[in-house]
Amino acid sequence: MQPNSTREGELIARIIGGEKELFHELVRPYERMVYLTVFSILKNETDAEDAAQEAVINAYRHLDSFRAESKFSTWLTTIAINEGRKRLRRAKGATFESIDEQEEDKGGDYTPAPLTDWREIPQNVLERKELREALRKAIAELPDKYRQVFILRDLEGFSTEDTAQMLGISIATVKVRLHRARMMLQKRLVPFLKTMAPKRRGFFGSAP
């Protein structure tokens, strides 16, 4: 997640000093992250691409407000989150409620799906396109507040602390939301995986 913060610090100083072209190099390692962040909010490829471009340009325009004590990755991602939210508010108009002001409800079923007929998913099952498709769909259908935490933590690899800071929520809330998101996805994917699991044990093990 942090390629080299000293090197980044140097790059940033040189860009602010006038070597503007270096900004391409500075953001390149984070392109994917910026896209996924806005995608987690907007859930639409075209909107996400547009928002990602806007976020990167905003980051360039405000680079002088970056402070060395924070990480460039979280600073840039926070800009992306704000850009995504701004667009969502615009799209939803007055009906928009800040998702992070909602209290964590105590109810709801966040227990995993019990299963016993398979243990490890063999590599060749993970290779299957249908499984990726099912996972993408399940993630898209998570409630917004769970999806955003899940993507920052488990897809982009941010720490619990950084995720809390970027979303403006507590560490405890990040943990609760992440747990629920993971359990919901496990539950959604288990039936799918079961249909692909071998009838007899050892089938995959004996494959060439």
Partner 1 sequence: MKLECKHVWEYISEYIDNTLDAKLREDIERHLETCEICSAILDSTRNVLVLTADDRTFELPVGYSERLHGRLAKELESPGTPEERK
How wide is the angle at C-alpha 108 spanned by C-alphas 105 and 110, nearest 5°?
Answer: 110
CB of 113 to partner 1, least distance (A): 7
Which residue's CB is nearer to partner 1, number 92 or number 179?
A: 179
CB of 5 to partner 1, least distance (A): 20
CB of 71 to partner 1, least distance (A): 19
Which residue's CB is nearer to partner 1, number 29 or number 89?
A: 29
> Which value, to the nearest 10 degrees, does the dihedral of the CA atoms of residues 38, 74, 30, 12 take?
130
Q: How far apart are CA 196 and CA 199, in angstroms?
A: 9
Q: Give the footprint of partner 1 on this chain (CB under 8 A).
A: 15-18, 20-21, 23-24, 27, 31-32, 35-36, 39, 45, 49, 52-53, 56-57, 60-64, 111-116, 118-121, 126, 131-132, 135-136, 139, 150, 154-155, 157, 160, 175, 178-179, 182-183, 185-186, 189-190, 193
CB of 35 to partner 1, least distance (A): 6
Which residue's CB is nearer to partner 1, number 12 or number 88?
A: 12
DSSP secondary structure, 38-107, as one string: HHHHH--HHHHHHHHHHHHHHHHHTGGG--TTS-HHHHHHHHHHHHHHHHHHHHHGGG---GGGSPPPS-
Which residue's CB is nearer to partner 1, number 99 or number 125?
A: 125
Q: Which residue has the tokens 């995504």?
A: 84
Q: How far apart are CA 5 and CA 70, in angstroms?
A: 10
